[in-house]
Homo-oligomer: A and B are copies of this chain.
Amino acid sequence: MTPAITTSLLRIGDFATLSRVSVKMLRHYDTLGLLKPVWVDPESHYRYYSVEQLPRLHQLVALKDLGFNLAQIARLLAGGLDDNQILTLLQAREAELQADITSQQHQLMNLRSHIARFDIEQLDTEQLDAERLDVGRSDPSLDDAVILRGVNTISVASLELAPTADVSEGFVRLESYVSKYHARASSAPLLRYLDTDTLELCVPLSRSITGTDVIQITRLPAIQAASTLHQGGYDNMAEAYSRLTAWLELHNYQLAGPLREVYLRFSAEPIEDQLPAAFLASTSNDYLTELQLPIHMLTS
């Protein structure tokens, strides 16, 4: 009983049929060195495979189905990795996949709240036909002025003030303090409404510096925020605020932190003229302010 298995050679098409992997891909795996044919005719360059290669190919496909890319599969199939290394790769992939799923679930919830909004509008339609004909109406699908966006953590120098205090004087103090250290990051200054009798002015930092009694160095947390823009002077921002709160209710989100006003374009005080020019506006018509309302997504 010698195990004299003399398997016949398969041409690439037959091997493709057997393995249910396309000819194109087999050739690709060959050039990548993932699965070389057992024999290649030196004259015709025809690739010849053997059934013994099916298990390896199936491993390859299985790894692909786990979401590894071909480079990673090459490393895994090459062997020479001990169990711990393999385990690490698997776990890394697990974490990645986990993260992907979470982010897609967020997408899905987001999408559903948009769809829900349509359903509400359709109900309205039935009841409020008369009114609607007059009103005309903005495009309902594309939240005209409010968007949901992620905001990263920001290192800032901050200063707390009473609501009655002079805000721009506070910013001047902050900017001049930060500029002494040459630590000004080139992003927009902002303000947070910590509670009804505290404002917090923030100026982004490019590196860590030390604070003072009143000027604190902190990191603002990353948030998901409902965001809207207000263009023009600061006297009429009520509209933007009501847009935000209406959106919040409609989409069924919950407040998750202090509101932020981000000053995207504004008038520079003399002391602030080291700021990136992109942020400077010449007239109050050009002022641009982003309102960010931090939210939790309700896991419905």
Residues of A within 8 A of B (CB): 5-8, 10, 13-14, 17-18, 51-52, 54-55, 58-59, 61-63, 65-67, 76-77, 79, 81, 83, 86-87, 90-91, 93-94, 97-98, 100-101, 104-105, 107-108, 110-112, 114-115, 118, 121-122, 139-145, 147-149, 186, 227, 229, 231-232, 264-265, 276-279, 281-283, 285-286, 288
In the assembled complex, 5 residue pairs joining A and B whose CB atoms fall closer than 8 Å, in A order, are A14-B277, A55-B144, A58-B227, A62-B147, A62-B149
Given A18-B288, A104-B101, A265-B51: A83 in contact with B118 (beta carbons within 8 A): yes
A55 touches B118 (CB 8 A): no
A61 to B149, CA, bound (A): 9
By a CB distance below 8 angstroms, the chain B residues around A282 are: 8
By a CB distance below 8 angstroms, the chain B residues around A122 are: 83
A58 to B144, CA, bound (A): 9
Closest B residue to A73 using CB positions: B142
B141 touches A86 (CB 8 A): yes
Closest B residue to A11 using CB positions: B278
